[in-house]
Amino acid sequence: MTGEQAEAVVDLAAIAGNVERIAGATSAAVMAVVKADGFGHGAVPVARAALSGGATWLGVTSATEALELRTAGLTAPVLSWLHSPATDFAALLAADVDVSVAAPELLDAVAAAARATGRTARVHLKIDTGMSRHGATADGWPELVAWSRKYEREGVLRVRGVWSHLATADSSPYGVTAQTAAFTEAVAYARDAGLDPELLHLANSAAVFTAPRTHFDLVRAGIAVYGVEPVPGRAIGLRPALTLRTQVIMVKRVPAGTGVSYQHTHVTSRPTTLALIPLGFADGIPRGVDGRAQVLLGGRRLPIIGRVAMDQCVVDAGDLDVHLGDPVTVLGPGDDGEPTAADWAAWAATNPHEILTGIGTRVPRRHEGKGTVASDAGARGALPLLHHGRKRR
């Protein structure tokens, strides 16, 4: 702790090591997805560490996120993918950011921005291959392709990529096969229509390790970069990068029968010591994990009891000798027995992504390590083992 009563420490060497691991699992280029402030880890430091680990692309959802990377001085290729008619495409083009387009209306907006800025927009066309979320439908694809080709002829844009997103890479190989087939078909259609995309991309983290046929030219890795295992039931040996720490800010001994926190959803069954920690649901501790969630305090896993409040929650320390200021680890890589983001996800019936991105802005992020796994090429093969050979629980 550095004088903060809570902090999220981000291990940049772990980020770089995880990216090395991802890069080692594919012959495609690696895009590190740093949306949502790098899944809550801090987009800019994560981006730097990911690039040092072998990523060559950065992926974000919005103009705001893309421009933050550029403002920080990052010059690597960036793709931004969720836009609306209100998106400042001119700013994106001026910042040399590739833009995804999934609707002809937005293609018009990109073309207008290209004319206004005198830049040739680099566009990645998104096809919906079965997720029914973002992307042009198969029915809408011919129109999107035709308009793109028209604008290409005018010289205002170039279709650099065609891409899609997988719905079930972590669960259903059948779904992946169907989506890959639909993707290949859409690409063939675009090529027949005269487009010449050099970057085809479909895979997310899970697909990197389960579905090589989806890798094409580029894989987009998010959760694996942060060290959360992307494939259920399979340990790839990634290292969680974030540790959420706090400290005890109040200790009290209470008798049996004491109601704890709002609504007294928990009543003590014996005399016990309550330790208060200054993190609540505004900081990303899920509400309603009473009786399931645990933290590491005094070398022991201890339960959170009662309702998690906005700013604080109560740990049942039993008869443990607890003092004001004692360190508490809420989540981390698990080295010392602390819960992981995956444990929290299970307790809160969500995924680790939501746990990590939910850590509030009130919790300062501190970045440790330079994130350079290999300052010289000779060390490249050996160093990742440092992270991945560690004892895990």
Ligand X SMILES: *Cc1c(COP(=O)(O)O)cnc(C)c1O
Q: Which stretches of the chain bind ligand X, using CB under 6 A?
A: 33, 35, 81, 165, 204-206, 220-224
Please give the Cα distance from 89 to 108 (Å, whole number): 11
- Calculate Rg over the CA atoms of the chain: 23
Q: Where are the beta strands (DSSP E) in 281-356?
A: 294-297, 300-305, 313-318, 327-331
Q: Smallest distance from the beta carbon of 207 to ligand X, in angstroms?
A: 8
Beta-carbon contacts of 13 under 8 Å, excluding residues fewer than 6 positions away, are 49, 368, 369, 370, 371, 372, 373, 387
Numbered residues of the known binding site = 133, 310
Looking at beta carbons only, is 201 or 307 nearer to ligand X? 201
Burial group, residue 287, by CB count within 10 angstroms (0-12, 13-18, 19+): middle
User: Tokens representing 127?
Assistant: 């096809």
Nearer to ligand X, 29 or 224 (CB): 224
Q: Which of 69, 20, 79, 75 is nearest to 46 (CA)?
A: 69
Which residue's CB is nearer to ligand X, number 12 or number 202?
202
The least distance separating ligand X from the CB of residue 209, rounded to whole angstroms, comes to 10
Alpha helices in the chain (DSSP H): 12-24, 35-39, 43-52, 63-71, 89-94, 104-117, 141-154, 173-192, 205-210, 341-347, 352-357, 384-388
Q: How far apart are the C-alpha atoms of 211 and 28, rounded to whole Å? A: 12
Q: Are 120 and 92 in contact (CB under 8 A)?
A: no
In the complex, what is the shortest distance from the CB of residue 102 to ligand X, in angstroms, rounded to a whole number? 11
Q: How far, in Å, CA of 353 to CA of 228, rounded?
A: 9
Task: Please say which residue, 348 or 374, places its beta carbon nearer to ligand X.
Answer: 348
User: Which residues is 126 bridged to in the sheet?
Assistant: 163
Annotated binding site for substrate: 133, 310
Name which of 114 and 221 has its Cβ closer to ligand X: 221
Question: Does the annotation mark 391 as catalytic?
Answer: no
Give me the least distance between CB of 167 and ligand X, in Å please.
Answer: 11
Query: In the structure encoding, which two tokens stand for residue 283, read together?
Result: 């900081």
Residue number of the CB closest to ligand X reads 222
Shortest Å, Cβ 61 to ligand X: 7
**Is 174 labeled as catalytic in the residue annotation?**
no
Q: Which of 150, 174, 262, 370 is catalytic?
A: 262
Report the residue number, 223 or 330, with the smaller CB distance to ligand X: 223
CA distance 317 to 92: 52
Closest CA to 102 of 86, 83, 129, 80: 83
Residue type for position 108 = D
**Between 204 and 247, CB nearer to ligand X:** 204
Shortest spacing between CB 226 and ligand X, in angstroms: 8
Instruction: Assess contact for 183 and 201: CB atoms under 8 A.
Output: no
Quote the least distance from Cβ 35 to ligand X, whole Å.
6
The one catalytic residue among 35, 126, 151, 226: 35
Catalytically active residues are 35, 262
